Structure 1
């Protein structure tokens, strides 16, 4: 009969295999061991998250990323804590406040797809304060079991065009990987209810926002392809290790580097040649 402790140890060994799509050399670094208590805490956090009610305004996962969220949550080493597929919104801000806060704003228009000039023109008369048009790209926060799991997801995000992605580690051991990018848009349209822009400029803004939304959808699709490929490779490597198909740790590291190189060579995670974003990677400690 297998004890709980031995089961957790086996899971820890399986989930600690790194998957690096950016720099295969990092795979040769010594693996960080995750204690059984940490793995147990992660399982507890994942269970708690699955029982929580969706408190977002929409109350459900956005359609464009529903399959991605389901795929991530089916993994033993991940679960999502928040997400948005990307949106174009017009908000009504209070002009008397120097610091904009969500609770002091009302939404005049929101879509997780493309918008039209009529959508903007119809929303503007509803503004009593400062109307601001925004495009906010795809964002997702994923809690990870180990740093190696977070590294795998981080490299998938970077290679998919989400260059502002990063990892944070809390004092209680929570490891959060944030998938983010920087191709945002924020433009004021009116002040104290008075429109400040022409219809021609509104048309230009709508075209710009829709182009950003199109690029956002492309990156989401690329992210899902890279994610599936990386997790398949990660599982295959783990299976080989546990089935005794490797003869030494040196061969294991070499095999991992070759597997990662195959992902890159196959072009599954190639970046957009027109992507202007610079690579931003960070590791922070939070409360």
Structure 2
């Protein structure tokens, strides 16, 4: 699923947009082809106490905007969906400003020499408390439940706002693009299982970390599952025609997609191939993938 084109600038960075009575959104100034218009930080709660979800990059302009949006209110928790550097580095400085604990996903840092097409991991992230699937935190008039959604990263969490049936989906589900799944930490089988998990929920609306809100969540998730299954079938068909490297698969599979997106596509193709290998459908010889022998 190719990403939609970027909306015209200027983007409304630094402004507190009240999207629902319990939810405000502040856009960080880190727009790029892989973050859309930038990371969206969400303030959840009321005058009596807030949670901050995905504080974003450690950028003084964004931190000042968050401080202004918080406006002296008590911050009870700072939560991160995962620890890519466009999501979590502002957690520590925001905790220093507000005195709030950092709660949510586990720390994770993967060392790799491979070129990255997503943000690298945040080495500085140090949570005060890690939430397991189904654990909750609450404040005046709000309750957030952790929903474990590994795949994009192994430590990815979504957060469900129980009072309004809203789900903060981080990078797991976004309307503007499919999530990049980058091995070795990103895992296609986990990603697909996490999509199934969300499809079986009854959330009213999704608020992703990048791009617009998703007002028809199950419809979008169903389409994303279908898209990934289509890519899997495409790989199996192409390997059946002739063994190929990832570099040879991508131009055929992503014909018509801008070439600057091919490195990201190659990572997801790699994730699909690793999943097919585990399932005994494909095998690797050197840098060439071919169908696995039938048992």
Answer whether TM exceeds 0.5 for this pair.
Answer: no
Which protein has the larger Cα radius of gyration, Structure 1 or Structure 2? Answer: 1
TM-score by length of 2: 0.23
TM-score by length of 1: 0.23
**Of Structure 1 and Structure 2, which has the larger fraction of its residues in helix?**
1
Structure with greater contact order relative to length (CA < 8 Å, sep ≥ 6):
1
